[in-house]
Amino acid sequence: MEPCPFPPAWILPHDGGTLLVGRDGELINMDGKGQSSGQHVCPFPMTMSHGVILGERLLGTWIDHELRMARFAALDVGALASGPAKASVRRGEPEAMHPAGHAWSHALDAEPLGLIEHEGNVVLALHPDALYLIDAEGREIERTTIPKPVDGLGASLVSLHSHEGAVLITLRDGSFHRVSFGGIPPVLLGRSPTTQPVRDVAYGPEGRLVMTEDHEALWTDGENVRMRARLSGPPGQVLWSTKDEAWLIAGWRERVLLGANGFKRTDRDNVDVALYASEEGVLVLDNNGAWSAFDA
């Protein structure tokens, strides 16, 4: 894999390859062999916080807290182009108010909290508790609200996951809910087995990996804990490996394997950002833009 030419924030695999996303909104496509397709671009000069691929389109959200500005737009993933400079956006120049090359673009009046693909459409969550079902053309199909928390740890959304026609939502208090559109009330499915606020959740065929704000990872099946481990810091990304029958964790200066055969850790000098499952195995992208094979 070619190195990432900018400080990476996260990656978005798709049928044509992998989209690398930078901290300041940079984008570059890599093909299935890990070669870049042209130069990197920056369609909009702010953080791209979320993104999904629907067909040939990248649907993404961009946000700048300093400018108090957020956008939700669709771009042709195969024809990404550089857009305006941040100074132009700051001055409010009309042609600089939306990402370059957009098929459509909406100004958001609230912070985007999450975006996932769901049944051929997308689900967009906006602060504080709005949940929208939106088609590929940016049209609202339905809306509902994020469920209320169980206790005082907080109602912040930490995870959206599409599953069997519904959206599974996890809140900061560890409660997880099934949300359906069409006027169906949400269903409380349970509570993560921790007293700590939940930071993130990963899903796999063997359950969920719940990660807390005090850096504990809990492999759970429902409300039962199969295994737990203490991490050194917040993980960059988590991936279930069928080959290893384990969770692979790209961590804070560490790589961790947490599975049926135990817990293994390898210390690292750099901070890992993302995991990519290739034909040759699992690769890790670190904060310097370098790729390496996962080992723990």
Q: What number of residues does the chain have?
A: 296
pLDDT tens digits, the chain, 296 residues: what are they?
A: 899 999 999 999 998 899 999 999 999 999 988 899 889 999 999 999 999 999 999 999 999 999 999 999 999 999 999 999 999 999 999 999 999 999 999 999 999 999 999 999 999 999 999 999 999 999 999 999 999 999 888 889 999 999 999 999 999 999 999 999 999 999 999 999 999 999 999 999 999 999 999 999 999 998 899 999 999 999 889 999 999 999 999 989 999 999 988 899 999 999 999 999 988 899 999 999 999 999 86
Beta carbons of 250 and 235 less than 8 angstroms apart: yes
Residue 54 makes CB contacts below 8 A (sequence gap 6+) with: 117, 120, 121, 122, 136
Q: What is the phi/psi pair of residue 91, to 5°?
A: -80, -10
Residues 78 and 175 placed together within one structural domain of the fold: no
Domain finish residue from 58, 91, 109: 109
Domain that holds residue 44: 1-109
Residues 130 and 208 placed together within one structural domain of the fold: no
H or E element that contains 216? strand 216-221
How far apart are the C-alpha atoms of 114 and 111, rounded to whole Å? 9
Residues 78 and 127 placed together within one structural domain of the fold: no
Whether a cis peptide bond, with omega within 30° of 0, leads into 147 is: no
∠ CA(233), CA(159), CA(275), 5° rounding?
55
Domain finish residue from 55, 74, 109: 109
Token representation of residue 154: 């907080």
For position 151, what pLDDT does the model report?
Answer: 87
Residue carrying the six token digits 């409300």: 223
For position 94, what pLDDT does the model report?
Answer: 96
Residues 290 and 213 placed together within one structural domain of the fold: yes
Domain finish residue from 43, 77, 109: 109
HSE-CB at 229 with a 13 A cutoff on CA atoms is 23
264 within some domain: yes
Closest CA to 249 of 226, 227, 272, 278: 272
Token representation of residue 76: 């042709």
Beta carbons of 123 and 113 less than 8 angstroms apart: no
DSSP 148: P
196 within some domain: no
∠ CA(111), CA(116), CA(82), 5° rounding?
65
For position 250, what pLDDT does the model report?
Answer: 94
Residues 78 and 27 placed together within one structural domain of the fold: yes
287 within some domain: yes
Residue carrying the six token digits 């901290």: 23
- 89 three-class SS: helix
Residues 90 and 16 placed together within one structural domain of the fold: yes
- 47 three-class SS: strand
Partners of 176 in the β-ladder: 170, 190
Token representation of residue 104: 């459509």
77 within some domain: yes
Residues 221 and 257 placed together within one structural domain of the fold: yes
Q: Please state the domain count of the chain.
A: 3
242 within some domain: yes
199 within some domain: no
209 within some domain: yes
Residues 52 and 82 placed together within one structural domain of the fold: yes
CA–chain centroid gap for 177, Å, is 19
How far apart are the C-alpha atoms of 274 and 269, rounded to whole Å? 15
Residues 99 and 177 placed together within one structural domain of the fold: no
Residues 39 and 70 placed together within one structural domain of the fold: yes
